[in-house]
Structure 1
Amino acid sequence: MPHIQLPENAPGILGPMKFSPQTAAPMNTLANALLQTDDGLSRGERELIATYVSSQNDCIFCQTIHGAVASEYLGDDDWSFVKAVKCDYQQTSLSDKMKALLAIAGSVQKGGKNVTAEQVETARQHGATDKDIHDTVLIAAAFCMFNRYVDGLATVAPINPDVYRGRAANVVKNGYSAEGQYAPAPIIS
């Protein structure tokens, strides 16, 4: 049960966003700027970073929705690749560049000062640009905030994976917005 009175049938981040539209707008602008571009990293790679950080923060809603969006972009119909990335990305078929960037994202998740010069150099050696590194750090930092927003208010998450699949298709088509973001579905507290 959420800690504050949130709109009904608005799971995850949608509840707090509908509760506070004035803060939802800049948060959605940030999410779109970080995730809805193929400038440098692809949209699928960006969503994988968001998914990985959210899984490290144990934010069920965010790791599931962003994993679904990543899967949609990557053609991972059964979510098996995204699940493998969350479990142990080093053992996946990800590029060495993406593995190095996920290492950086994981360090940001623990605390920004945990990112090392060696991690950045490894990412560069595998083809990461300064923009790739910048965007990885900012996506990871933003998702720590989003995860804490969702979980700090004890929002609810749909249990039906089809809800996330439907939302993922909508995000791929329309980007992120607070209005109409998630269809009503069975939820758990």
Structure 2
Amino acid sequence: MTRPVSRFPVPDLDDMPTDLRDAILRVQEKSGFVPNIFLALAHRPAEFRAFFAYHDALMDKADGLSKAEREMIVVATSGLNQCLYCVVAHGAILRIRARDPRIADQLAVNWRKADLSPRHRAMLTYAERVAIAAQQIGPEDHAALAEAGFSRDEAWDIGAIAAFFAMSNRLANAADLMPNDDFLMLGR
């Protein structure tokens, strides 16, 4: 049985504003398929633009956290938030960026049992706190990040990524967004 991409309307490419269609076609050219998140958000063009502008600002930075570390945060917190779409999609990206076929599954199921460095444990401890108990964050949380070698800008990025994807996880779950099968074997 083939499930729909989302429980909300998914417009045809020909019916989308030109900038959205062009962005989607660029992603398709690069990856070989169109990730369902692009299709699901296309029915709300202003939100599509805002979502991907913030996503790209967080995830495509050249300085600070590595691209693999950024994806580790996404996968671990998406697992905590039980977001099938983000675990599968970002798990594929993480496997590729980390060059490790096992890391995404470990982080998604229980990051505390994964083979991680002390630096990455500190990073994911803070990310988890932001994702599910941000009201409890205190000076000791920031001290632990500093002790692990994270700068203030990197601490911000860890928190911002965890917070952004907490929102994204909730949106994907509310929309019943299904991951593309194309993600399943990437990086394995």
Q: CA deviation at 1:148?
A: 1.2
Q: CA deviation at 1:144?
A: 0.9
Tell me if structure 1 keeps the 8 A contact 2:96–2:186: no
CA distance in 2, matches of 1:25, 1:33: 12
**Highest Rg: 1 or 2?**
2
Equivalent residue number for residue 150 of structure 1: 172
Say which is worse superposed, 7-16 or 21-30, in terms of deviation. Answer: 7-16
Q: Which amino acid aligns with 1:6?
A: V
Contact 2:89 2:179 in 1 (8 A): no
Unpaired runs of at least 5, structure 2: 13-32
- Scaled by the length of structure 1, what TM-score is found? 0.76
* CA distance in 1 between partners of 2:184 and 2:96 (Å): 8
| TM-score, normalisation: structure 2 | 0.77
| 2:51 paired residue number | 27
**Deviation for aligned residue 1:28:** 0.8
- 2:175 and 2:114 map into 1 onto residues whose CA distance is 34
**In structure 2, how many angstroms separate the alpha carbons of the residues matched to 1:63 and 1:71?**
11
For residues 146-186 of structure 1, give each alpha carbon's deviation from its aligned partner in whole angstroms, at most 9, with x where no partner exists: 1111111222233x3xx116888xxxxxxxxxxxxxxxxxx
> What secondary structure is seen at the aligned counterpart in 2 of 1:13?
helix
The Cα of 1:102 is off from its aligned counterpart by 0.6
SS of 1:139 mapped into structure 2: helix
The within-5 A match list for 1:1-189 is 2-7=6-11, 12-76=36-100, 78=101, 80-158=102-180, 160=181, 163-164=182-183
Question: Which of the pair has the greater relative contact order for Cα pairs under 8 Å at 6+ separation?
Answer: 1
Query: What is the identity, as a one-letter code, of the residue corresponding to 2:94?
Result: A
Identity percentage of aligned residues: 23
Q: Please name the residue that 2:20 is paired with.
A: none
CA offset at residue 138 of structure 1? 0.4
Tell me how far 1:12 sits from its aligned partner.
Answer: 4.1
Cα separation, partners in 2 of 1:11 and 1:36, compared to 1, 3 Å: closer
Distance 1:4 1:93, change over 3 A: closer
SS of 1:111's partner is helix
Checking the alignment, whether the CA contact within 8 Å between 2:11 and 2:43 is kept in structure 1 is: yes
- Assess if the C-alpha contact under 8 Å between 1:57 and 1:144 holds in 2: yes
* Cα deviation 1:100-155 (Å, max 9, x = unaligned): 11111111111321323222211111111111110010000000111111111222
